[in-house]
Amino acid sequence: MDNVEDLRGDLLDAVAKAEDLEALDAIRVSALGKKGRITGLMKGLGGMDPEARKAAGQALNAVKDEVAQALDARKADLAAQALEARLVTERVDVTLPSPGETSGAIHPITQTWEEVVAIFAQMGFLVAEGPEIEDDFHNFTALNFPPGHPAREMHDTFFLPTREDGTRHVLRTHTSPVQIRTMVKEKPPIRILAPGRTYRCDSDMTHTPMFHQFEGLVIDKTTHFGHLKGCLQEFMEAYFEVKNLPVRFRPSFFPFTEPSAEMDIGCSRKGGELKIGAGGDWLEILGCGMVHPNVLKACGLDPEEYQGFAFGMGLERIAMLKYGIPDLRTFFDSDLRWLRHYGFAALDLPTVHGGLSR
Ligand code: PHE
């Protein structure tokens, strides 16, 4: 029969020398398995007298525990080594260029943005920008929303905490504050397009708390409502890629324009399918008007000398209409399947001469 001390030495030595998980398992079976050496000694205990059995049993149990622990520890070591070795052989060089087609796509928001900028740039508009966190003056007061004016409520404004000086900034509710920033800073003639993010506390099929608008502003000494109509007609035909698109202007109200109008484009909804440019029905597409004299005054311009027009439209709305995207909220879901379906090829920048949306 094995001597317990020798057995302990043998087994621990074998465990330490085991080179892989298989060898380790063989040791486990040879020691603790049904016919293993420790198991064999355990069976032998039955033939001993009680005193000797107690002492030998305790010694044997201690060795059994110790060997089991050594097996576990060695197993963990070997597993860590194996993982390390695998990681070394399977390392990916992330600096290598991708071998095949790139799988990224341009988001429809970006695509539409670039298309609109390309069209207005062709007409001589410069892109202007303003901050998304606005003060009350630029978002409302200078745009002829007097304090307490009900139209302020219509905007479902996100207010920031009141500052120490008592003022309260807002997340801009439209891109119209960029009109003010431009007119305060630059002398006419002015011809700008201001694309950007806007915010309103609203969320359903057709509203998201953040969305995008395009603001247009033209100021000089002679621009009149006819120019406004011609400019927007030209834009819509270029953007929707439809010649002789029917359009109409309906009287409307904005505090910062007078007269104000909403522009509709002709469409048909036959068979439940929306077709832009076909006759019969109308689709509301943007708000516009002649810049209000109070707005010119607030920017230090003399309304007797200067005049012009402004317009504002929703980027997601015109993207949905052109590309048949039914739900506004999906723009912001970051769903890759959606992006692969509605996205555009990268490096294919829209230009008016090259075709906007190939
Ligand atoms: N700022 C208006 C809105 O958000 C749109 C608009 C811009 C209307 C410029 C007229 C002129 O609804």
- 96 domain residue, yes or no: no
* Same domain for 165 and 84: no
Choose the residue to mutate in 256, 263, 296 for probing ligand 1, maximizing ligand atoms within 8 Å of C-beta.
Answer: 256
- Which CATH number fits the domain that encloses residue 324? 3.30.930.10
What distance in angstroms lies between residue 279's CA and the mean position of ligand 1's atoms? 26
Among the atoms of ligand 1, which is closest to the Cα of residue 309? 11
Distance 226 CA to ligand 1 centre (A): 18
Q: How far apart (Å, rounded) are the C-alpha atoms in residues 138 and 332?
A: 28
User: Quick check: is 344 in a domain?
Assistant: no
pTM of the model: 0.71
Task: Determine the atom of ligand 1 nearest the C-alpha atom of 216.
Answer: 9
Domain match, 25 and 117 both: no
* Mean pLDDT of the 185-204 span: 94
Q: Whose CA is nearest to atom 10 of ligand 1?
A: 288
Q: Exposed/middle/buried for 92, CB within 10 Å: 0-12, 13-18, 19+?
A: exposed
Are 68 and 149 contained in the same domain? no
Contacts of 311 (CB under 8 A, 6+ apart): 215, 216, 228, 232, 263, 286, 287, 288, 289
**What's the domain count of the chain?**
2
- 136/84 same-domain check: no
> Does residue 342 sit within a domain?
no
Query: Measured from the CA of 174, which atom of ligand 1 is nearest?
Result: 4
Q: Is the pLDDT of residue 2 over 70?
A: no
At 154 the pLDDT is 66
Query: Domain of 52?
Result: 4-89
Q: What is the DSSP letter of 159?
A: B
Pocket lined around ligand 1, Cβ cut-off 6 Å: 174, 176, 215, 254, 257, 287-289, 310-312
83 inside domain: yes
Q: Is the pLDDT of residue 357 over 70?
A: no
| Residue 351, pLDDT score | 77
Q: Best substitution site from 176, 249, 317 to test ligand 1's pocket, by max atoms within 8 Å of Cβ? A: 176
Q: Is 245 a domain residue?
A: yes
Same domain assignment for residues 278 and 142: yes
Residues 134-138: what's their mean pLDDT? Answer: 94
Lowest mean pLDDT among 60-74, 96-110, 131-145: 96-110
Are residues 53 and 184 part of one domain?
no
Regarding whether 179 and 70 lie in a shared domain, the answer is: no
Asked whether residue 133 falls in the same domain as residue 33, the answer is no
Distance (Å) from CA 260 to ligand 1 centroid? 9
- 213 Cα nearest atom in ligand 1: 4
Residue 212 lies in a domain: yes
Please give the pLDDT value at position 207: 87
Q: What mean pLDDT comes out for the span 236-261?
A: 96
Q: Specify whether 155 is located in the same domain as 194.
A: yes
Same domain, 168 and 308: yes
115 & 81 share domain = no
Same domain, 210 and 246: yes
Ligand 1 centre to CA of 214 (Å) is: 9
Mutate which of 174, 198, 225, 284 for ligand 1? The one with the most ligand atoms within 8 Å of its CB, which is: 174
Phi, psi for residue 169 in degrees, rounded to 5: -80, 165
Q: Is 354 domain-assigned?
A: no
CB 60 within 8 A of CB 4: yes
Q: Which residues pair with 286 in a beta bridge?
A: 263
Q: Which helix (H) or strand (E) holds 317?
A: helix 315-323
Residue 353 counted as domain residue: no
Q: What is the per-residue DSSP string for 58-73? A: HHHHHHHHHHHHHHHH
312, 259, 305, 309: which is closest to 286 by C-alpha? 312
